[in-house]
């Protein structure tokens, strides 16, 4: 059987008891290592699980899945995913390929940023579509997130924004030349996300959000050093020192924010006076 095992969001202890049992008995264990990361190294996982782990990068998962699925109809194979296997990132392609080969599959769920973001104090029922923000490049500024945020804002809902990570990525030059040379890992910060959002708003000019729009930056959610910072998008452009190391996420507040949500989130505000003033004028639930 192919098991997709969620690891949770923080460290080696976040795996469920059920997931750990699967890992311990599996013939092979793979760690998906390109859509997200834990806050501990692979060696820490191996010591805790008592198993060696093979890292499955994007190339292996997308182009060489046959290796992962090798003999999985006869032995147990564990595919480990940070967060929940079908949370922020899905692995339906791998499951569909297993089905084609007649390999049974089973999912062991765990915490995902999609649910853990509730630690900000914002009610999950009040979230709309989740969007992703990628690093802008010279001449390439994808803005598909803008329309999704507009749809959420039009009905007053919060937007969870997942921030880009670059792990084992090639430069365009190395890719064109076929050179297996990889760039150092990069993790988008809340500050970069906020600046890119304001850049796209300036280009679009539709007033979906602006420098005074309220948002919450989140760092290392679920970990021992979890940190939240709330403020305007302009304030969050400069909030990276307050948030600290990766991984970061961000929430753009919807206009139907409930007073209980406001009371909880304002404790994270960079400037409570500014936060209260804008919330009272723009965000109180009607």
- Please, where are the H alpha helices in the chain? 17-25, 42-49, 58-63, 65-69, 92-100, 113-116, 144-154, 172-176, 190-204, 233-236, 240-243, 259-265, 272-278
Tell me what percent of the chain is helix, strand and coil, each rounded to the nearest 5.
40, 20, 40
> Which residue reads 């909880």 in tokens?
264
d(CA 120, CA 281): 21
Structure tokens at 37: 């990361």
User: What is the reported pLDDT for 8?
Assistant: 93
Please give the C-alpha separations between residue 197 and each of 69, 140, 279, in angstroms, as whole numbers: 40, 14, 20
Residues contacting 215, CB < 8 A, separation 6+: 194, 230, 231, 232, 233, 236, 250, 251, 252, 253
> What DSSP character marks residue 82?
S
Q: Is 248 annotated as a binding residue?
A: yes
Phi/psi of residue 4, nearest 5 degrees: -100, 115
User: What is the reported pLDDT for 177?
Assistant: 61
Q: What is the per-residue DSSP string for 104-125?
A: -EEEE----HHHHGGGGS--GG
> Which residue reads 């206009």 in tokens?
255
Q: Is 158 annotated as a binding residue?
A: no
User: What is the reported pLDDT for 69?
Assistant: 94
d(CA 227, CA 250): 12
User: What is the reported pLDDT for 139?
Assistant: 86
d(CA 25, CA 9): 23
Q: Is 112 annotated as a binding residue?
A: yes
Cα atoms found within 13 Å of the Cα of residue 121, Cβ hemisphere only: 20
d(CA 271, CA 277): 10
Structure tokens at 283: 């965000």
Q: pLDDT tens digits for 36-79?
A: 778 888 999 999 999 999 988 777 777 778 889 999 999 999 99
User: What is the reported pLDDT for 173?
Assistant: 62
- Asked whether the beta carbons of 189 and 218 are under 8 A apart, the reply is no
User: What is the reported pLDDT for 126?
Assistant: 96
Residues contacting 253, CB < 8 A, separation 6+: 122, 158, 213, 214, 215, 216, 265, 283
Q: Is 93 annotated as a binding residue?
A: no
> What DSSP character marks residue 170?
P
Q: Is 84 annotated as a binding residue?
A: yes
Q: Is 68 annotated as a binding residue?
A: no
Q: Is 262 annotated as a binding residue?
A: no
Residues (pLDDT < 50) of the chain are 286
């Amino acid at each position: 059987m192919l098991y997709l095992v969620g690891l949770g969001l923080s460290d080696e202890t976040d795996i469920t008891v059920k997931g750990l049992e699967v890992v311990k008995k599996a013939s092979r264990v793979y760690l998906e290592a390109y859509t997200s990361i834990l806050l501990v190294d692979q060696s820490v996982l191996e010591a805790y699980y008592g198993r060696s782990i093979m890292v499955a990068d994007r190339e292996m998962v997308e182009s060489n899945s046959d290796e992962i699925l090798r003999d999985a109809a006869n032995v147990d194979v564990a595919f480990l995913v940070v967060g929940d296997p079908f949370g922020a990132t899905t692995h339906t392609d791998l499951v569909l390929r297993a089905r084609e080969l007649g390999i049974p599959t089973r999912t062991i769920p765990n915490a995902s940023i999609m649910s853990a973001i509730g630690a900000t104090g914002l009610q999950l029922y009040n979230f709309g579509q989740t969007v992703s923000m990628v690093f802008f490049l010279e001449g390439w500024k994808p803005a598909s997130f803008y329309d999704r945020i507009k749809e959420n804002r039009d009905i007053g809902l919060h937007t969870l924004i997942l921030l880009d990570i670059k792990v084992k990525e090639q430069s365009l030059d190395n890719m064109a030349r076929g050179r297996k040379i990889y760039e150092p890992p990069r993790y988008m910060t809340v500050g970069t996300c906020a600046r890119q959002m304001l850049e796209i708003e300036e280009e679009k000019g539709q007033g979906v959000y602006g420098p005074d729009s309220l948002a919450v930056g989140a760092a290392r959610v679920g970990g021992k050093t979890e940190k939240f910072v709330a403020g305007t998008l302009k304030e969050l452009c400069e909030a990276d020192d307050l948030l600290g190391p990766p991984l970061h996420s961000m929430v753009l507040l919807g206009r139907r924010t409930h007073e209980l949500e406001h009371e909880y989130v304002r404790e994270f505000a960079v400037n409570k006076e500014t936060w209260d003033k804008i919330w009272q004028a723009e965000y109180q639930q009607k």
